[in-house]
A and B are shown apart, each in its own frame.
Chain A
């Protein structure tokens, strides 16, 4: 299937770039329905696998590598679909409909789907390339990290976001001594409010994690050619055998931007997954899509990758499909199961509700008096009920009363607004 640069490139009717959730969703959506050939080019060496369990069941040892597979090997052997691993696309010629890989292999396409996901943000720390310094995006990354977090290992996690905190939780569980260093004045500042952040902090502290807030890391110390610790902005040193840098991600859009696709905070797509280039679609963490208020939004979530992948597959099949979802997200760490519905941003009021279950905390976020998001920690009923109250006006007294179900906390609409 390979060809030298001079030969005519091998052709796929649909060529999918990426080997993650969005890419697989497109391939699975086309399987059995699409008549033409489908090629998937993935930079990774593993068959496509699930990412969320990496820092959950996989790090804790409950889920093994085999169980992570998104589809069995046989799926990729079916006629009509070819998965090419270790193929990183480095250039796209949108006019000629040809891509080329890091090894100079070219493929031509009828339709291109860009599903390249995201890559860890690198903050240019000195010593970041020392052995013992990790990032967590891929199975290969996580496997390496997992080997080093045994009993007694001293682990410093840079960044108190979901991925860093899940890794911290798994490391403590594995017997390591763990410190989390966060530059902001609280944890999870990009994704949730202060109440949940403090709740999560308390539970991590109780499990033995040390947390440094308002603290920046300025460099990784070299101890005999390996990571020996980190230096903080105030001059303090934290000794460490393992350093995890998890400070966020950057959408993998630069190759497509170079090809002329309109990109801002990711590849710009419309609600059917189309980019500004002809015959080129995009889906997943690498995209930003239009919102109702005319802005653009980029989500880093599995649901977004799966549902955008569905829309792209349907659009390619000529079916009517548009992307519109109520976002949800979840995270498991220490003894907390955190579940979020809606987007925790732009709210002007929060209501806190504490249920009877251990570790339970629910926060309802309001914008202009209407519910825009709900975080439910160890509170499945509230998570389920959240869908009922999203977008609605609620009675604060009922919301904060744990004996009333959240879905019964509506405030009657003012007469004259809305029907019946």
Chain B
């Protein structure tokens, strides 16, 4: 189980996720505002953009993800599509910031 902190403009929301789930899936299930996940993780929409400082527990960004991020607003160095951030057994905690 991973403890995920979603940093929102007004508050932090803490939700737990299971190995194999993506942060997008967890966010959608928890109705976190700002993470839509419209295409369900099929890399077609870029509506699950987050900032993630510590990405050590996740796979490196792929070329396709990097390209698709161009469709998101206010992209930074730490930008990821949360559908590509898959939780593993070894990640105990992670914090992501949801863009405004």
User: A-side interface residues toward B, CB under 8 Å?
Assistant: 28, 31-32, 50, 52-53, 56, 67, 69-72, 75, 302-303, 306, 328, 330, 332, 337, 339, 380-381, 383-384, 387
Contacts and interface: CB of A to CB of B under 8 A. Distances in A.
A61 to B, nearest CB: 14
Contact of B68 (A31, A306, A332, A380): A380
Interface string B71-99: 10000000000000000000000000000
A343 B4 CA distance: 39
Top-4 shortest CB links A-B: A330-B44, A380-B64, A380-B67, A72-B29
A306 B40 contact: no
B67 A384 contact: yes
B90 to A, nearest CB: 21
Given A32-B31, A72-B29, A387-B71, 16 more contacts: A31-B31, A50-B40, A52-B42, A53-B42, A69-B29, A70-B28, A75-B31, A303-B39, A306-B36, A330-B39, A380-B43, A380-B67, A380-B68, A381-B67, A383-B44, A384-B71
Given A380-B63, A380-B64, A384-B67, A303 B31 contact: no
7 contacts: A52-B40, A72-B29, A303-B38, A303-B45, A306-B38, A383-B44, A384-B70
Nearest to A67: B25
B44 A328 contact: yes
B99 to A, nearest CB: 18
Given A52-B39, A380-B68, A75 B44 contact: no
Question: How many B residues touch the partner, as a band?
Answer: 10 to 19
Contacts of A306: 36, 38
A192 to B, nearest CB: 15
A174 B43 CA distance: 24
Contacts of B25: 67
Interface of B: 25, 28-29, 31, 36, 38-40, 42-45, 63-64, 67-68, 70-71
Contacts of A28: 31
B42 A332 contact: yes
Contacts of A75: 29, 31
Contact of B45 (A67, A328, A332, A381): A328
Contacts of A53: 40, 42
A332 B42 CA distance: 9
B70 A330 contact: no
A349 to B, nearest CB: 26
A140 B36 CA distance: 26
Nearest to A52: B40
A56 B41 CA distance: 12
Contacts of B43: 337, 380
Nearest to A307: B38
A79 B40 CA distance: 26
Nearest to A329: B44
Nearest to A50: B40
A34 to B, nearest CB: 13
Given A28-B31, A75-B31, A339-B44, A302 B67 contact: no
Nearest to A31: B31
A71 B71 CA distance: 26
Contacts of A381: 67
A102 to B, nearest CB: 30
A383 B42 CA distance: 13
Nearest to B26: A72
A303 B42 CA distance: 13
A199 B86 CA distance: 32
A381 B68 CA distance: 8
B42 A384 contact: no
Contacts of A302: 38-40
B54 to A, nearest CB: 26
B46 to A, nearest CB: 9
A71 B29 contact: yes
Give the interface centre of B38, B42, B67 by most chain A CB atoms within 10 Å: B42
Contacts of B28: 70-71
A337 B96 CA distance: 29
Nearest to A338: B44
A337 B71 CA distance: 18
Contacts of A339: 44
A71 B63 contact: no
A21 to B, nearest CB: 9
Contacts of B36: 306
A383 B44 CA distance: 9
A52 to B, nearest CB: 6
A381 B31 CA distance: 30
